[in-house]
Chain A
């Protein structure tokens, strides 16, 4: 187990370059999602749009919000919360899909 302290955190200083690179990736994904929305994909538009949004959000969380280099317990926390949110969505739709 890692020993939490500030010294260790300092080793994780990420370079400006990485952030700019991620930012470029986010912009690319944005133009991709706008382009895809212009094509007629029917029901897949929503799914593709959400998948791209999910990718973008993961990039922001992992790099900009430092979760990649943060203590593992943070990942556990995020997992639990997302699981709960997912459970709420699924269970609500168990009602609405069968009305």
Chain B
């Protein structure tokens, strides 16, 4: 538990930069996100245990192909994200800009995919409060309720992540993020990876119940 003293006692320097501190702060924030989704996963787990068969039945209606495609898109975007950090570490600003842009494009593709998936379900009448759904069994209503709430909240995080990344792009272009000061980009990356991790768990829980 005993830590060495972390502060560089450079008293002349008015504002001292602390990259490790910034990352600790970011990780603490990620923990709150983890617990936020953790709460939803808990709700999912309880209802799945209560209505296993109806969850199975509803999951058959999910489009596994779209789900798999989205998984691949997000995993790839995580790769380009981390590559952009590696690029800036190697003083390659151009490559870093390219990778951040690619990440943004992939995020956008994920959302388009999601849009088609949701419209398909809504077209089938599987949306909260619809007559088709209300006529189904309780477990199926809950499955779709959770499906919309969880993927919706996840989608919201993708959008937030994209907004943050857009700022990072501007910072990169304006040289606010450089090879020796890139903690902002790192923290944005951490957030993006967390969004990816959440999806890694959502994927088998909604699309792969056979």
**Chain A residues close to B by CB (< 8 Å):** 1-6, 9-10, 13-16, 19-20, 22-23, 26-27, 30, 33-34, 37-40, 45-46, 49-50, 52-53, 56-57, 60-61, 63-66, 70-71, 73-74, 77-78, 81, 84-85, 88-89, 92-93, 96
Contacts and interface: CB of A to CB of B under 8 A. Distances in A.
A33 B209 CA distance: 11
Contact of B75 (A27, A37, A52, A77): A27
A17 B78 CA distance: 15
Nearest to A42: B210
A96 B201 contact: no
B75 A16 contact: no
A56 B210 contact: no
Given A20-B79, A57-B201, A64-B193, 4 more contacts: A23-B75, A60-B193, A64-B82, A81-B34
Contacts, number: 120
Interface residues of B, number: 49
Interface string B62-76: 001000100110011
B200 A56 contact: yes
B86 A19 contact: yes
Nearest to B19: A6
B76 A57 contact: no
A19 B83 contact: yes
A92 B186 CA distance: 36
B23 A70 contact: yes
Contacts of A46: 204, 209
Please report whether the interface of chain B is mostly helix, strand, loop or mixed according to DSSP: helix
A52 B201 contact: no
A34 B208 CA distance: 7
Interface stretch (B41-49, B138-146, B155-163): B41-49
Nearest to B204: A49
12 contacts: A9-B19, A13-B89, A20-B79, A23-B78, A27-B75, A33-B203, A33-B204, A45-B210, A57-B197, A73-B24, A81-B34, A93-B45
A65 B190 contact: yes
A45 B31 CA distance: 28
A61 B201 CA distance: 14
A4 to B, nearest CB: 5
A53 B8 CA distance: 40
